[in-house]
């Protein structure tokens, strides 16, 4: 594990932050074909920060992948690495460098297990490491600053990106290429980072964490099924046949489908598959308002409303519950407690 010590400390005690590197665009470089792949180590990322008033940092490479390849098992490996670092009482906070494609999934999974007041901060980049206008160094410096800031204790897992600070729950990638890609449509950012100053403007509601030691991701399959005009039940039945124990509907509007989908949901929930209704709309809650295949009928068929969780994070929560409980009724009970 590499360690970087600030150039000057002024004799004062210096915070210690661990950076766990997992790859992503912040670590990518472009080859002769113009294709970018994750190559840089965590030490490489830190080497680009230059001198500055940052805490003492140690770095560990956990993975080196594009986050579009991140699996539930790999995200669990990251969660265990975070827990391992927080077992050291000298660590003031943890930073995870991660690809932006699935930051919202990994951040939320980490938050579901986070039982420590010290912050865990995910960051990354929209531009590769070898881009002349790369945004990775600033985002990483901000994340390290956030991880060491007393103001961020008891906030849970955070996303620091583009000078803004977001809670894990409810934060989503909102633009494919823009540097300021993350947004929390239902609540907005928690605060901002300006150099060495971290401003926290609101505090998220924290929920009791799950037991990471009890979680087993092996064999947990949860699929997302899009609802759209002309959608039928083919995908629902196919995923269930393939072994899905949980399904998330990416429904329309406030959480609507059609009568064919509703009948399939009733069959699947009766067979022990846990079905959750989310929505493809950016903001607002899932609400049972309509019949004739709408949200009211989905609720009657046994689907669980996702509240404000969008499909990406609803899938993570459902997978965690399925990895903790084998009884579908226990999963449903856990969902009602954790999703609100």
Q: Which residues are catalytic?
A: 25
Instruction: Answer yes or no: is 100 a known binding residue.
Output: yes
Q: How buried is 120 (Cβ within 10 angstroms: 0-12 exposed, 13-18 middle, 19+ buried)? A: buried
Give the Cβ contact number of residue 75 at 10 Å: 24
Check: CB of residue 120 under 8 Å from CB of residue 93.
yes
Cβ burial 283-304 (10 Å sphere, 16+ → b, else e): eeebbbebeebbbbbbbebbbb
Instruction: Answer yes or no: is 47 a known binding residue.
Output: no
Instruction: Answer yes or no: is 67 a known binding residue.
Output: yes
| Closest to 170 measured CA to CA, from 202, 213, 211, 218 | 202
Residue that the structure tokens 């865990």 belong to: 120
Q: At what angle do helices 103-113 and 72-86 cross, to 10 degrees?
A: 50
Q: How buried is 170 (Cβ within 10 angstroms: 0-12 exposed, 13-18 middle, 19+ buried)? A: buried
d(CA 198, CA 189): 13
* Residues present in the chain in total: 340
Question: Which residue numbers belong to the known binding site?
Answer: 67, 100-101
Question: Which residue numbers belong to the known binding site for substrate?
Answer: 67, 100-101
């Amino acid at each position: 594990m590499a360690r970087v010590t600030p150039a000057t400390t002024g004799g004062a005690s210096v915070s210690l932050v661990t950076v766990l590197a997992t790859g992503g665009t912040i670590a990518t470089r472009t080859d002769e074909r113009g294709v970018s792949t994750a190559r840089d180590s965590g030490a490489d990322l830190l080497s680009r920060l230059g001198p500055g008033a940052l805490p003492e940092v140690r770095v560990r490479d956990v993975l080196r992948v594009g986050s579009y390849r991140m699996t539930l098992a790999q995200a669990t490996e990251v969660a265990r690495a975070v827990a391992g670092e927080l077992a050291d009482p000298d660590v003031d906070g943890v930073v995870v460098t991660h690809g932006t494609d699935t930051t919202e999934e990994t951040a939320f999974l980490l938050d579901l297990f986070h039982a420590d007041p010290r912050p865990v901060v995910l960051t990354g980049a929209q531009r590769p490491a070898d881009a002349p206008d790369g945004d990775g160094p600033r985002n990483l410096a901000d994340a390290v600053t956030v991880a060491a800031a007393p103001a961020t204790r008891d906030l849970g897992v955070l996303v620091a990106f583009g000078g803004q600070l977001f809670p894990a729950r409810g934060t989503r990638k909102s633009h494919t290429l823009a540097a300021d890609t993350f947004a929390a449509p239902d609540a907005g950012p928690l605060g901002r980072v300006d150099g060495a100053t971290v401003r926290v403007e609101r505090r998220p509601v924290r929920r009791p964490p799950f037991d990471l030691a009890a979680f087993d991701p092996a064999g947990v399959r949860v699929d997302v099924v899009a609802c759209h005009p002309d959608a039928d039940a083919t995908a629902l039945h196919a995923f269930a046949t393939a072994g899905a124990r949980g399904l998330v509907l990416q429904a329309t509007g406030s959480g609507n489908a059609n009568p064919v989908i509703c009948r399939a949901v009733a069959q699947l929930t009766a067979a022990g598959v846990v079905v959750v209704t989310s929505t493809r709309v950016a903001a607002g809650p899932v609400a049972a308002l309509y019949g004739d295949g709408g949200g009211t009928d989905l609720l009657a068929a046994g689907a669980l409303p996702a509240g404000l969780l969008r499909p990406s994070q609803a899938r993570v929560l459902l997978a965690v519950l399925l990895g903790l409980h084998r009884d579908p009724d226990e999963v449903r009970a856990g969902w009602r407690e954790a999703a609100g």
